[in-house]
Homo-oligomer: A and B are copies of this chain.
Amino acid sequence: MTADLLLGVDVGGTGAKYVVADLAGAVRAEGDVPTDPASPETTLGRVARATGPVLDGGRLHGVGLACAGIVNPLTGWLGRSPNLPGWEDSNLFAAVDAVFGNVRRALANDVNGALYGEFRAGAGRGCADLVMIALGTGVGGGVLLGGELLVGTHFGAGEIGHMVMDPHGPVCTCGGRGCLEAYAGSVGLLRAAREAAAGDAGPGLRDLVAARGVALTTRDLARLAVAGDEDAAGIFTLAGRRLGQAVGNLINVLDPDRILIGGGVAQAGDLIFEPCRRTARAIVLAAEAKDTPILPAELGPLAAAVGAALLVTGEASGE
């Protein structure tokens, strides 16, 4: 048999999502295993056992890993990693070798993995210059130029969530003020909702916040906004405007083919995309770049695993 399958693993603090994909990124199998917080080898061993039947007979072409944190994609080194402190400062290519033997390997941080997946098999297909912004608990980002992920001199590129949008803005988890993350990550959105409920919001938002308590989610807020509650809608509008400011600033600097917005908060759809697009368009200076598409990511929660798998093939191509 030929080695025609890729394994991609998106390693989180508690679980590792994996996909087995063909060389074009089509997913043949997927699943997850518990992450061993102390051992990359143990975690990858669990993935190997789970995927063994699919990969039987020498079909494994290579293994790609995605991890939050500072990574060196050339050497396989994982530096600081907030979700995987027990894996920090270790070589993940060595762990792949120990578990899978002599296969090709790739490593990216999680948002870069997702961006590469979108580039090769999702909303960025056919575009060599892309920016991705992932709206989750926090806000992550990635930049792809000429079909290659930008990693930066210190492997620190893509921290789009900590671009400061307003020096007088709300305090961010990083200690700064007015970061994009403080507006458009779920922590920031939920804090804004609670502050509004404690302040001058109407009964709709006040009742929701009281009823849901610590279980409040951005999905709850979005449902209320879609039902016509102006306080809830206003929270997404402000987040969308600050996101649009970041997007407009990035188009002014990089003039990419497209901007992709992913992550759970992006599920709010037009509540956040509409003010985002309007604000970005007003900020972009070059007339030719004003209509740069700002699109939802397509691959969903598997994006980083798919992208990590495709990074193994290392083709700087839009196909």
Listed in ascending order, the chain A residues whose CB lies under 8 Å from chain B are 70, 80, 129, 141, 143, 145, 150-160, 162-168, 174, 176, 241-242, 245, 248-257, 282-289, 292
Asked whether, in the complex, the Cβ of B288 is within 8 Å of the Cβ of A162, the reply is no
Q: Which residues of B contact A162 (CB under 8 A)?
A: 252, 283, 285
Q: What residues on B are CB-neighbors of A251 within 8 Å?
A: 156
Give 26 A-B contacts (CB < 8 Å), ordered by A residue: A80-B287, A129-B153, A145-B145, A145-B150, A153-B257, A154-B292, A155-B288, A156-B251, A156-B284, A156-B285, A157-B255, A159-B252, A159-B253, A159-B285, A159-B286, A160-B252, A160-B253, A163-B253, A164-B245, A164-B249, A164-B283, A165-B167, A168-B168, A176-B282, A176-B283, A253-B253
- Given known contacts A164-B245, A164-B283, is B153 in contact with A256 (CB within 8 Å)? yes
In the complex, what residues of B have CB within 8 A of residue A151's CB?
Answer: 255
**A80 to chain B: closest residue by CB:** B287
- The residues of B that contact A285 with a CB separation of less than 8 Å are 156, 159, 162, 174
In whole angstroms, what is the CA distance A251 to B250 when docked? Answer: 12
Closest to A287 in B: B80
Contact B156 A289 (CB under 8 A): yes
Q: Using Cβ atoms and an 8 Å threshold, which residues of chain B touch A168?
A: 166, 168
With A245-B164, A245-B167 as known contacts, state yes or no: A152 contacts B250, CB within 8 Å: no
**Which residues in B have their C-beta under 8 angstroms from that of A150?**
145, 254-255
Partner of A249, one of B156, B248, B249: B249
Q: Which of B129, B156, B256, B288 contacts A255 (CB 8 A)?
A: B156
Q: How far is the CB of A189 from chain B (nearest CB, A)?
A: 18
With both chains docked as a complex, state the minimum distance between the C-beta of A283 and any C-beta of chain B, in angstroms.
Answer: 6
Closest CB of chain B to A307's CB: distance in Å? 19
Please determine whether A154 and B70 come into contact, CB atoms closer than 8 angstroms: no
Closest-by-CB residue of B relative to A142 is: B253
- C-alpha gap A287/B79 in the complex (Å): 12
Please, which residues of chain B bring their CB within 8 A of the CB of A257?
153
Residue pair B249, A286 in contact (C-beta under 8 Å): no
Expressed in whole angstroms, the minimum distance between the Cβ of A130 and any Cβ of chain B is: 10
Closest 7 CB pairs of A and B: A152-B255, A156-B286, A154-B288, A159-B252, A157-B255, A163-B249, A156-B255
Contacting residue for A248 out of B70, B157, B164, B283, CB 8 A: B164
Residue of B163, B241, B288 touching A156 (CB-CB under 8 A): B288
In the complex, what residues of B have CB within 8 A of residue A288's CB?
70, 154-156
